[in-house]
Amino acid sequence: MFKESIIEQFHQGHCIDAYKLFGAHFTYEGCEGVRFTVYAPHARNVSVIGSFNEWDETQHIMERTGFTGIWSIFIPNVKQWDSYKYRIEDRNGHKLDKADPYAFYSETRPETASKIYDLNEIKWSDKTWMNKRTKNFDKPVSIYEVYVGGWHRNGEYPYTYEMLKENLIPYIKEHGFTHIEMMPLNEYPFDGSWGYQASGYYAVTSRYGNPAEFASFVNACHKEGIGVIMDMVPVHFVKDAFGLRQFDGEPLYEYKKISDAESEWGTLNFDLWNEEVRSFLISAASFWLDIYHIDGIRIDAVSNLIYWGGNRDRGTNEGSLTFIKRMNYYLAQEYPTVMLIAEDSSDYPKVTESTQNGGLGFDYKWDLGWMNDTLKYYATDPIYRIWDHNKLTFSMAYFYSERFMMPLSHDENVHGKKTVIDRLWGDYDTKFAQARNLYAYMFAHPGKKLNFMGNEIASFREFDEKKELDWFLLDYPRHDAFLRYFTDLNKIYLAHPCLYQDDYDYKGFKWIDADNAQQSIFSFYREDEKEVLVCVMNLTSASYEDFDLYVPYKGTYTEILNSEKDIYDGCNMCNFEPVKSKAVKEKDAKFENKINIRIAPFGAIWFTCPKKKTRK
């Protein structure tokens, strides 16, 4: 009945497909029905109760199998969509009603039962995408981070997976994003947790539709060349009585020691020293990649996986580190083209190094240091920026130590921090000018990009899971112009390989002038074998009609982006004609060529110059 190899791997903490054994599976055992299997080693008795037996615990009592802690039963005539739970009698005779940890679908909150679902109903037509998919190290990545319940709403209800297919995908295409990152779509009871306090690690949330509808959305994304990244939280889980807490009457998924089990979020920490818990979580990650063809997994709160409680003073959690290395190793082996992304606020080394080279095995790490330094700088009065000049140059001092991704995520738009644009210094007009400058800097800086929904329309209202984005802002010319600017940034980024193909190679980025603190002007360039792209940023209200900008090559430099162009609601102080470089006469100059340009107040400009082909 069971493959002993899966069970052995499960107990050893090396199982990546436990969902093929545990949970509720349609099968034929003399007749059609469903086999239920659950892990409850401390239980005295386990029954399946559900809509098919009037929730009567006496009708379907599970059998303790010959394998440690595993209970199973075949029940004929169970149908798709039937609801069920496990009634577990613990060692002391107390009875607990629990949702299935491996359920593929659940009732819609506030109801908490699991639901029968046949995953074989999911159909795919994305073979071309899957065969061409890569980890995108040398490709453009501009991620649109989405909370499904708050992107668009249909009256009082959020868009469904079907509505997202019809509306979100065209929006992503129109505005030049390459990937969608979904805030957790696992099942969760409390809307205010945004999915980060999970109850069902294998169940796509029923808030927005069923598994086939979600798979259809992913399939449609792939047909349009859009990747889908999913958030996952292997650190902690909800305390709700129907869930994993004291699952069989005793700590099973959580630490036995209360001080280790209690998390800072009012949830329970997974016992990542427990081999069966490791198999549960590794298999959960694998499940989304296997069943739903997800293209990337972003692991939340990695610093809490590295250190006990995320606190460096408590030391590293070696059991947790073993888990994350093991998970990333197996996922990389089984799904070699999937992106594994760490949201890590620590400076722990080798996060994006291969596990075989002593690293944690992630492909990318969010650069939260860059995010913090950058937003602090742009929030500072320009009069004092001379003293904070290093905040914008420091990121490149450590950038090549990891494979960094540049995030301006939901975390920067909540909890009283204000939204990105509202955090910037100055009055209403100046905030817009600086926001355009900030995004020009972000997209020219090495590293893949991530922006939370609403950043692209310059939203001033903090994220609220109960409301949709303030789309009415696009009725105002300034916000509409900002969306046009953001779209052009994305599309120019996609069109110039020098902005992405050597993100993680020293040769792809060079400073022109990193030390002009007196004027608060920064300049650098990106290059590949065909072109050089120069970025210059003015971070004060001063303007310059004749500014000498040193350039790395002789040639003609054409302005392809100016954050102050009139179509972006800027002052239109641009360089309308291509600028030819001139030889530098100074003996000690860093570069042999320069161009003379105009720079607007708070202006950011990109110039491009083709490289001359050398004769063979």
Contact between residue 565 and residue 572 where contact means Cβ atoms under 8 Å apart: yes
Task: Choose the catalytic residue: 271, 300, 367, 527.
Answer: 300
402 an active-site residue? no
Which stretches within 175-210 are classed as H helix? none
For the chain, the farthest-separated pair of C-alpha atoms sits apart, in whole angstroms, at 94
Question: Pick from 82, 90, 88: which is nearest to 38 by CA?
Answer: 88
Specify which residues 27 forms β-bridges with: 33
User: Distances in Å between the alpha carbon of 341 and those of 146, 255, 296, 367?
Assistant: 16, 26, 7, 11
Backbone angles phi, psi at 323, to 5 degrees: -60, -50
To the nearest 5 percent, what fractions of the chain are helix, strand and coil? 30, 25, 45
Three-state SS at 19: helix
* Pairing assessment for the beta strands 531-538 and 604-610 based on DSSP bridges: antiparallel
- How many residues would you count in the chain? 616
Q: In Å, what is the CA distance from 11 to each residue of 42, 235, 583?
A: 15, 20, 70
**Which whole-number Å values give the CA distances from 496 to 489, 491, 493, 522, in the listed order?**
11, 9, 6, 21
Report d(CA 401, CA 352) in Å as an integer. 9
Cβ contacts of residue 77 below 8 Å, gap of 6+? 31, 32, 33, 52
For 48-73, letters b (16+ CB in 10 Å) and e give bbbebbebebeebebebeebebbbbb
For this structure, is 566 an active site residue? no
Q: Do 286 and 254 meet the contact criterion of CB atoms below 8 Å apart?
A: no
Preceding amide of 497 cis, omega within 30: no
Considering the candidates 343, 344, 363, 367, report the single residue annotated as catalytic.
343
Distance, CA of 522 to CA of 388 (rounded, Å): 13
**Scanning the structure block, which residue is given the tokens 């790395």?**
552
DSSP 3-state assignment of 177?
coil
Residue matched to tokens 């001139």: 582
Q: What is the DSSP string of 114-173?
A: EE---GGG-----HHHHHH----TTS--EEEEE-HHHH-EETTEEPPHHHHHHHHHHHHH
Q: Can you say whether the dihedral through the CA atoms of 232, 238, 243, 247 is positive or negative?
A: positive
**CA 242 to CA 160: how far, in whole Å?**
26
Cα Rg of the chain, angstroms:
27
Q: Where are the alpha helices (DSSP H) in 470-519?
A: 477-495
CB 231 within 8 A of CB 505: no
Task: Identify the DSSP state of 214.
Answer: H
Rounded distance, CA 560 to CA 555, Å?
15
Structure tokens at 56: 């009567």
Residue type, position 153, single letter = R
Cα atoms in the Cβ-side hemisphere of radius 13 Å centred on 391: 19
Q: Which residues are part of the catalytic machinery?
A: 300, 343
